[in-house]
Chain A
Amino acid sequence: MPSSMPATSTRKTAATVPEAAARFSTGDAVRVANGAVFGHVRTPQYVRGKIGTVERICGRFRAPEELSRGKYDGAQRALYRVRFLQVEVWPDYHGDPSDTLDVEIYEHWLEPVRTKR
């Protein structure tokens, strides 16, 4: 495939980075931004505004919002797996209170939560 086809290079260049390069660390409490965003995003609606805990840092990847608009040379963003308690995501959740939902969320969607639960 010719190198002029940028879509092929985006995922291949993603590399794991040391945790120091990321804003949040494993175990940090984070809140998902709750803004209305047009176009393609990879942050599910059901976790917008919810608080979770960083389960791991996945590496650095280009932002899906930019990729979907044809911008393939944007900055790479840290990607996290954020763990939410199901009872916090769904107020009427039926199941064990320890049940969790892990979701991959990019750093620019996350804000710090000062008081850890």
Chain B
Amino acid sequence: MSAVHEHDDRSFELLERAFRELLIEKGVLSQAEVDERVELMYSRTPALGARVVARAWFDSEFKARLLADGSAAVRELGIDVGTLKLVVIENTPEVHNLVVCTLCSCYPRMLLGMPPDWYKSIAYRARAVREPRAVLAEFGVEPEPGTTIRVHDSTADMRYLVLPRRPAGTENLSEADCAALVTRDAMIGAG
């Protein structure tokens, strides 16, 4: 089912509404709980992830903990990520990482907010695993020859955050100024 639908198909909107109304009618959950959850999701933005990235650039011990256990390290910063099981993968001169969810649209929403539409598109989901270098080139990312591309397919319970390389020339910037440079796409590996 999900393999063929695109997001302009309103039948899924109707399905969600019918399902939600049934759950409320049966007392399984309330509209207030649904609203609270939706508001929480919309309150999350890539700025949270950018804060984590900048901290890792400035604190190598934090970075080590972040790579070892992403969720625990993020909580150190006072960021509530709920039940998120976060895997952080580091870009280096040798390795460039790219994240996709080929089966649906799994994404670290607690840290980056809602995924961009292209992340949920069938074209991206199919091509990121099949021809990642061509996809990256379309995003303007052209790793140097000899770089290994690692694609991470979020097929199950983990969620992924790419730790981009710190840009050259930022040595004199503050941690907050560095965080402002980190883009959503870079934390997916596509920027």
What is A's interface to B at a CB cutoff of 8 Å? 1-2, 4-5, 11-12, 14, 42-44, 46, 58-59, 61, 64, 79, 81, 86, 89-90, 94-96, 98-106
Contact = CB atoms under 8 A, between A and B. Distances in A.
A86 B153 CA distance: 13
Contacts of A5: 28-29
Size category of the B interface is 20 to 34
B150 A102 contact: yes
Nearest to B33: A1
B152 A96 contact: no
A104 B153 contact: yes
Given A58-B158, A106-B156, A101 B133 contact: no
Contact of A12 (B83, B133, B152, B153): B83
A81 B150 CA distance: 13
B150 A104 contact: no
A35 B133 CA distance: 31
Contacts of A46: 102, 129
Contacts of B29: 1, 5
A58 B85 contact: yes
Interface stretch (B10-18, B46-54, B141-149, B168-176): B141-149
Contact of A14 (B28, B102, B130, B157): B157
B41 interface: no
Contacts of A103: 153, 155
Chain B CB count within 10 A is highest, among A12, A81, A103, A104, for A104
19 contacts: A1-B33, A2-B27, A14-B83, A14-B157, A42-B103, A43-B155, A44-B103, A44-B153, A46-B102, A58-B85, A58-B87, A79-B157, A86-B132, A95-B149, A96-B148, A99-B151, A100-B148, A100-B150, A102-B151
A2 B157 contact: no
B131 interface: yes
A10 to B, nearest CB: 10
B154 interface: yes
